[in-house]
Amino acid sequence: MTQYFNEMYHGGKVRAPYARLEDWMNAMPAELRTLKQAEAEELFRRIGITFAVYGEGGDPDRLIPFDMFPRVFTGGEWAKLERGIKQRARALNAFLMDVYGRGEIVRAGRIPARLVYQNDAYEKAVAGIKPPKGVYSHIVGIDIVRTGPEDFFVLEDNCRTPSGVSYMLENREIMMRMFPDLFRGNRIEPVDRYPEMLRRTLASVAPQKCSREPTIVLLTPGPFNSAYYEHSFLADLMGIELVEGQDLFVEGEFVWMRTTEGPKRVDVIYRRIDDAFIDPLCFRPDSTLGVPGLMDVYRSGGVSICSAPGAGVADDKAVYTFVPEMVRFYLGEEPILQNVPTWQCGKRDDLGYVLDNLGDLVVKEVHGSGGYGMLVGPKATKAEVEHFRAKVTSDPGNYIAQPTLALSTTPTFVAEGVAPRHVDLRPYCLVGERIELVPGALTRVALTEGSLVVNSSQGGGVKDTWVLAE
């Protein structure tokens, strides 16, 4: 029987950061809790924050479940996490600058050339580009799990367009509205600086050709995208325009936005559309979501694209294995945050081990995300395991495997009262002129008892995440 670290109760005692929450929990009668839960749901529905679940059909405006029980970190715990996250974000960006430049890390034999240069996410089109401040990935979402009081592991990196930050902000907003007393009694670090911090980060990477206050826009694929709410929410909070491809056009050396007062030059594009769709002249010719000619403007220094096309080569699950090596190679430091041990099914020895131990491992597709195409060995049926055995055997290079981690739990409101449920953590690190992050993150919780899959697309929920002031 695996022992899971409970972030509230440990060694028969309530851990210090949760002390006040125990009183709060005990003082809340069941009727009040039901009432509050309904109120929270009503608030979320009114704000319009929903999450469409890919491939499952059903109600696209389904609410992502919100759990009212906050997750809490001490200032000390957070300080260490913050150092580790920033270190990783720095290393990932150094890696991107390098592999689109001289490729020193490959020449030094520290990562196989094949993994980088034959990677689907490697974009030949950006080779040689030196983006402003040397940043390719401006918003780095790093998924972290905890297995003990001092034990944190990075599960994966997201260097392209990590989503979910609107939940971090809304969860806090709603908790403060529903339980103002909680916030009077606890000194909780605020997270509401995030939009301004993001705006400042984007402004700091304006292209050299921009010699005035930069015009920043958020480029969305449109209302049919599952994260559209977040796109409009962030644009609104940052006070920038939310645009679709058709609102922008290229003329001469620059990108322009159509406005009622005529064309306005755009300097920085925070894009929430995938590389392949961003410019039909450079990538998929059939894409209607992007802006024809955008890449030529970008490559000649007329506009900044955040994150840069091609940034995904750093967050691939096979490249992930080498991130600690990147930290050592580029920064000359030891990694503060550890990786989860990972087997590359593309390696013969690793493949043998994985196939022999499928029932105990988590197997993921190298390019998968959102919890799709993933096997959780201990929770899978025999048929599912065999199905994966066939998939992995036929295309080993497309899979990696990791041990099933004993994800920590935090108390969560469930039908029967309060019970431990597994959680993970996604902080959002901003990289521009400076590297910074707000003291807070998105906590995802697997609401099904015993489940280790926290993805919202797989029925996970979210929690407010507190960092206590020291």
Sites of contact with other proteins (CB under 8 A): 100-103, 106, 113-114, 117-118, 122, 124-129, 249-253, 280-282, 285, 292-293, 296-297, 299-302
Residue 292 or 459 having the CB closest to other proteins: 292
Residue 106 or 414 having the CB closest to other proteins: 106
| Residue 297 C-beta: closest distance to other proteins, Å | 6
| Residue 13 C-beta: closest distance to other proteins, Å | 56
| Residue 119 C-beta: closest distance to other proteins, Å | 9
| Residue 250 C-beta: closest distance to other proteins, Å | 6
CB 470 within 8 A of CB 76: yes
Residue 42 or 251 having the CB closest to other proteins: 251
Residue 164 or 302 having the CB closest to other proteins: 302
Residue 81 or 282 having the CB closest to other proteins: 282
| Residue 254 C-beta: closest distance to other proteins, Å | 8
| Residue 115 C-beta: closest distance to other proteins, Å | 10
| Residue 100 C-beta: closest distance to other proteins, Å | 7
Residue 122 or 233 having the CB closest to other proteins: 122
| Residue 253 C-beta: closest distance to other proteins, Å | 4
Residue 294 or 327 having the CB closest to other proteins: 294
Residue 101 or 378 having the CB closest to other proteins: 101
